[in-house]
């Protein structure tokens, strides 16, 4: 089973919207699990009312999702971690360097998004219209994300590194 993890700041708007939409698109497929988390959130917060409404308009109910902080265990569980903005990608890599090879920007594979506008903006505290724009950006990006996930092996293999040294570097090599 492949596990996708969507990450934003508070896990109450962008990442739950991405989780909800991905689950909707993957309905009935047990080989891919979808989750979301936040970098700076408290566990147990419901999604924002505007995020719930934006997704409800597409027939997707995210009202039952609850925020959770990104933990080392959650990062280790994920085969694919998608940050909704570059700052999320950078923070995940900085805080969980062992996951760096599994971290991507959500719109990284979305050719319809201009190179300079790959971040999904944070709509928190803004009007519903902003949430609808964020939702549309997530909806537009998701096919390329799922295509990437489906084409990837998903199984993580151990990385083997061989280090050689002469007698002068033996102590460092062993360390």
Tokens of 83: 């940050």
Contact yes or no for 35/74 (Cβ under 8 A): yes
Annotation marks residue 13 as catalytic:
no
Annotation marks residue 14 as catalytic:
yes
- Residue 28, sorted as left (phi over 0), alpha (psi -120 to 50) or beta, turns out to be left
Of the residues 14, 68, 107, 135, only one is catalytic, namely 14
Annotation marks residue 90 as catalytic:
no
Which positions are annotated as active-site residues?
8, 14, 122
């Amino acid at each position: 089973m492949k596990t996708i993890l969507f990450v934003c700041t508070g896990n109450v708007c962008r990442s739950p919207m991405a989780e909800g939409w991905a689950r909707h698109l993957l309905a009935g497929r047990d080989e891919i699990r979808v989750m979301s988390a936040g970098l700076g959130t408290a566990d147990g917060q419901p999604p924002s009312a505007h995020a719930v409404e934006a997704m409800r308009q597409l027939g997707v109910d995210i009202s039952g999702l609850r925020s959770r902080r990104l933990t080392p265990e959650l990062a280790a569980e994920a085969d694919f971690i998608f940050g909704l903005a570059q700052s999320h990608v950078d923070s995940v890599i900085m805080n969980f360097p062992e996951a760096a090879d599994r971290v991507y920007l959500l719109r990284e594979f979305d050719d319809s998004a201009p190179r300079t506008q790959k971040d999904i903006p944070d709509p928190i505290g803004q009007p519903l219209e902003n949430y609808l724009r964020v939702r549309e950006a997530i909806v537009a990006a998701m096919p390329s994300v799922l295509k990437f996930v489906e084409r990837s092996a998903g199984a993580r293999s151990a990385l083997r590194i061989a280090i050689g040294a002469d007698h002068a570097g033996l102590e460092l090599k062993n360390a």
